[in-house]
Amino acid sequence: MAQNGSNSTVKLLGTWSSPFALRGRVALHLKSVEYEYIEEADVLNSKSDLLLKSNPIHKKIPVLIHGDVSICESLNIVQYVDESWPSKPSILPSDPKDRATARFWAHFVDGKCFESIDAAAGAKDKAGRMAAGGSLMECLAALEEGFQKSSKASDFFGGQNIGYVDIACGAILGPLFVIEAFSAHEAVKPYMPTVAEFVEFAKQKFNV
């Protein structure tokens, strides 16, 4: 890929199974940014010195290192990439109203949707799983309604091209639900874990 913008070295710390690291990889791919991907192979049990130095507050992946600057949190990374390499395609909408709407749904995914997935995976009994599953279905129904209003009869939230909400939503839900247009996109397919890989990682994370 040809790098646009600054000539500073770009690195992304992540792990193959992380939907949050996937967001960063998709954003960098869309912007044709040359970068070094550094795999944190056993991030559940150990963290590299580089990760601890780059993200001393949360000590989590993903972390984008751009020159001597470290950018943490996946949605923050996607916005940073979009603004630092302003070439097409744009990830966030240019219209202020559309941009605010995109940020709303992205945070909805990270809040309500991910909380429900986390609760379902970590539930200790059937009642807990059913309650979390019901909450997730409500979240998905709200997302579907938002998509119908924002997609303009196209495959993605923003219209014809992958945008901010697609990256936020597809990275979290892609391994669990069939989101064909997102998962099959050339900027996503090389990095998306299979369902089997995702399930195996979830078993390790939740010790089930």
What confidence tens digit (pLDDT) does each residue in 148-159 have? Answer: 777 666 778 766
18 and 68 belong to one structural domain: yes
What's 63's domain CATH number? Answer: 3.40.30.10
- Looking at residue 56, its pLDDT comes to 96
Percent of the chain topping pLDDT 70: 81
Condensed to tens digits (0 to 9), the pLDDT of residues 113-128 reads 888 877 877 788 888 8
d(CA 68, CA 65): 7
In a domain, 121, yes or no: yes
* For residue 207, pLDDT beyond 90: no
Contact between 40 and 90 (Cβ < 8 Å): no
| Domain span holding position 73 | 10-84
Q: Average pLDDT, stretch 61-90?
A: 96
78 and 158 belong to one structural domain: no
- For the chain, the first-to-last Cα distance in angstroms comes to 40
- Looking at residue 142, its pLDDT comes to 87
- The structure's pTM equals 0.80
The mean pLDDT of the chain is 83
d(CA 50, CA 43): 12
Got the DSSP string for 64-102? EEETTEEEESHHHHHHHHHHHS-PSSPSS-SSHHHHHHH
| Domain total of the chain | 2
- Looking at residue 6, its pLDDT comes to 56
- Looking at residue 18, its pLDDT comes to 86
Domain termination site, one of 63, 84, 105: 84
Confidence tier at 3 by pLDDT (50, 70, 90)? very low
116 and 72 belong to one structural domain: no
18 and 41 belong to one structural domain: yes
Nearest one of 169, 99, 174 to 139, comparing CA atoms: 169
What residues contact 107, with CB distance under 8 A and at least 6 apart?
A: 75
176 and 106 belong to one structural domain: yes
d(CA 61, CA 72): 8
In a domain, 160, yes or no: yes
Condensed to tens digits (0 to 9), the pLDDT of residues 81-110 reads 999 999 888 999 989 998 999 999 999 988
Angle subtended by helix axes 19-30 and 164-173, to nearest 10: 140
Condensed to tens digits (0 to 9), the pLDDT of residues 14-45 reads 998 888 999 999 999 999 999 999 999 888 78
- Looking at residue 188, its pLDDT comes to 81
- Looking at residue 130, its pLDDT comes to 87
Q: Which amino acid is at 105?
A: W
101 and 179 belong to one structural domain: yes
- Looking at residue 2, its pLDDT comes to 41
In a domain, 90, yes or no: no
75 and 139 belong to one structural domain: no
- The Cα angle at residue 45 between residues 43 and 48, in degrees rounded to 5: 50
What's 162's domain CATH number? Answer: 1.20.1050.10
Condensed to tens digits (0 to 9), the pLDDT of residues 158-167 reads 667 889 998 9
